[in-house]
Amino acid sequence: MENMTEIEFLEDAGRQIAYRQWPISSPKAVIHIVHGMSEHSGCYADIAPQLNAAGYSVFAHDHCCHGANVPEAELGNLSETQNWDNIHADMLRINTMIRERYPDLPLALLGHSMGSFIAHRFAQQHPQKLDALLLEGSSFEPRWLTAIASRLAALECFRQGENGRSALLYALTFGGFNRRIKNPRTPFDWVTRNTQFVDAYHRDPRCGMQVANGYWRDMFRFLNTLYKTDSLKQLRSDLPVYVFSGDQDPVGHEGKGVLRLVSELTSTAGLKHLTHRLYPGAWHDLLHETNSDEVIGDLQAWLADHLPVRA
């Protein structure tokens, strides 16, 4: 996928975290984009300039097992340094770097898909380290389901190894998402109606990979923790949160999982400043949908209304 930004690396505990930044002079706030599964920070090289034009400096980093953090042949594999523990550690390290560079500016987390779950968990664990949370392409999954899914992935680890690739796990996730598309052109048509973006995603060697069995196992375990009542209650009740998805997004169960998430954030987490929006006819990646101008305009309007202003 075309990307004109330069990849930089942050040293942490003897390893490197790949990230990109799109700074502007005199920003009014900072947005930290948290990417989804099987993509990377460069996928937002077209989104960041639009946020720059609205007055925001932008950062995005590559998760463990993704992007420039690993050689292409090791994408999606678990290792001693590339794992879910360090996915969470990297969130805090990048947040700390941003805060050091912009100590007086508000900071918003914008998470897409798997990144929305990671950003949500960060807001639970570090409630004072962000000023707004935006969850795009997210959902709520019942804990009985994530428990079953993690056990199934563990069985596939036993059968094929942690870094094996289970056809069953793929069929139940990415493969299943595309089955609802009539006459699909690519395995990723479910991502967006924007065929140019889908084609670029499909051509990008660092997008669309199938992650390892152990990655699925650990992610499902993480989701089971994310949706615990005690975890949901860790969120700051005064944190502004914006949940937005397409009403045809299979990750959000065509809106049902999104509305369940909104209900849990309201009733269990007790959020006082929660906004949600479902876009009719839109699929998973709203920032790259055919109506992305509308989506980004709404996002910018929400930020203008909800981000605090710091002197």
Over the chain (311 residues), the average pLDDT of each successive run of 10 is 70 92 96 98 97 97 98 97 97 97 97 98 97 98 96 98 96 89 92 97 96 98 97 97 97 97 97 98 98 98 88 52
For 254, the token pair is 């065509």
Q: How far is CA 10 from CA 7, 181, 206, 207, in A?
A: 10, 40, 20, 22
For 137, the token pair is 């392409």
Cα–Cα distance, 143 to 125 (Å, whole number): 19
Comparing CA positions, the residue from 298, 250, 264 lying closest to residue 110 is 298
pLDDT of residue 308: 79
pLDDT of residue 2: 39
Q: 29-34 and 107-112 as β-strands: parallel, antiparallel, unpaired? A: parallel
Comparing CA positions, the residue from 91, 32, 90, 92 lying closest to residue 57 is 32
pTM higher than 0.85 = yes
pLDDT tens-digit readout, 184-237: 999 999 999 999 999 999 999 999 999 999 999 999 999 999 999 999 999 999
pLDDT of residue 75: 98
For 112, the token pair is 């897409």
Comparing CA positions, the residue from 118, 121, 131 lying closest to residue 60 is 118
Alpha helices in 106-194, H assignment, sequence order: 114-125, 143-160, 167-172, 174-178
For 54-109, the DSSP string reads TTEEEEEEPPTTSGGGS-GGGTT---SSSSHHHHHHHHHHHHHHHHHH-TTS-EEE
The architecture in CATH of the region 8-141+227-306 reads 3-Layer(aba) Sandwich (3.40)
Hunting for tokens 């009740």 — which residue is that? 237
pLDDT of residue 311: 52
What residues contact 274, with CB distance under 8 A and at least 6 apart? 241, 242, 243, 262, 265, 266
pLDDT of residue 3: 40
